[in-house]
Amino acid sequence: MPELPEVETVRRGLQPVLEGARIGRAELRRAGLRFPFDPLFAERVAGRRVERLDRRAKYLLARLEGDLTLAMHLGMSGSFRIEDARHPEGEVVAGAGFHMARSEDRLHDHVVFHMEAPASRIVFNDPRRFGYMTLIEGSDEAAHPHFQRLGIEPVGDALDGASLARRLRGKATPLKSALLDQTIVAGLGNIYVCEALWRARLSPRRLAGTLVRADGGPTKRLDRLARDIRETIADAIEAGGSTLRDYRQADGSLGYFQHRFAVYDRENEPCRHEGCRGVVARIVQSGRSTFFCPVCQR
């Protein structure tokens, strides 16, 4: 499933085309995706200008005029395609710097936003139909069921050792499981937790609460982990995310962070930390693969 860097990369790709444009009409080609569409979805978004395109965790948030937010989740295989409305279907897409060859699975084009000024089509394609879209009244989505329990964002200055300490204090769950908990840190997923823990030289099996001092403050290792999480996410965004199976950027190109993986999917390869003689191991935690170096990650 796309993680925060992939969603942020898509947001940045869609932003120049969506922001300031008006939705002429929304074309829904099925009754729903993971969840049914709002019965008046098309009517409610038609004619509204996109004032801003934000992201919260793994959600894209189109702030529409009239105090309405269109929240969109990519699911496991969702992607957006930007088309130039002046061209017939099957030709080149629009947008400065955007290009994508026609998809071979047009049957999975489930939602089309026909944009005005400038004219374009924003197509949501989702073969597995695990993505979804919902409408939220008001500009603050914090009270919405999908958002009300989301944790801190792993970008900017908000995530630091102290904020992690408050959330990890007393937790007897494995560190990796705690970081995957979206109520603690929003947007982190399996890949980037593995990579951040490797950078911080922390074992994914370590109990999360052991990184918090008795007085509730962060240990030096927790301060370092917070920094390494932020840097891992920033590096992944800069690389355009990671492409493993279904993920593509809004212009159709692939992300490249997978070529920088230090441990993820590198089982039995030498650890890349200088001077470490360990070999990357794979274990299963909560049904998901964890990759780490059992020698230098403690």
- Name the residues annotated as catalytic: 2-3, 58, 288
Q: Do 285 and 177 form a contact (C-beta atoms < 8 A)?
A: yes
Q: What phi and psi values does residue 112 have, to the nearest 5 degrees?
A: -130, 120
Max alpha carbon distance in the chain (Å)? 65
CB contact at 8 A, 151 and 186: yes
Q: Is the preceding omega at residue 127 within 30 degrees of 0, hence cis?
A: no
Amino acid of residue 54: D
Please, are residues 64 and 72 in contact by the beta-carbon 8 Å criterion?
A: no
Which long-range contacts does 233-239 make (Cβ < 8 Å, 24+ apart)? Answer: 233/4, 233/5, 233/154, 233/155, 233/187, 233/188, 233/192, 234/155, 235/260, 236/3, 236/5, 236/192, 237/5, 237/8, 237/9, 239/5
Q: How far apart are CA 222 and CA 214, in angstroms?
A: 13
Amino acid at residue number 266: R
Q: Name residue, tokens 């990357």.
A: 280
The residue among 76, 95, 94, 98 whose CA lies nearest residue 84 is 94
Closest CA to 5 of 279, 288, 289, 264: 264
Where are any strands of DSSP class E within 65-144? 68-73, 79-84, 109-116, 120-125, 132-137
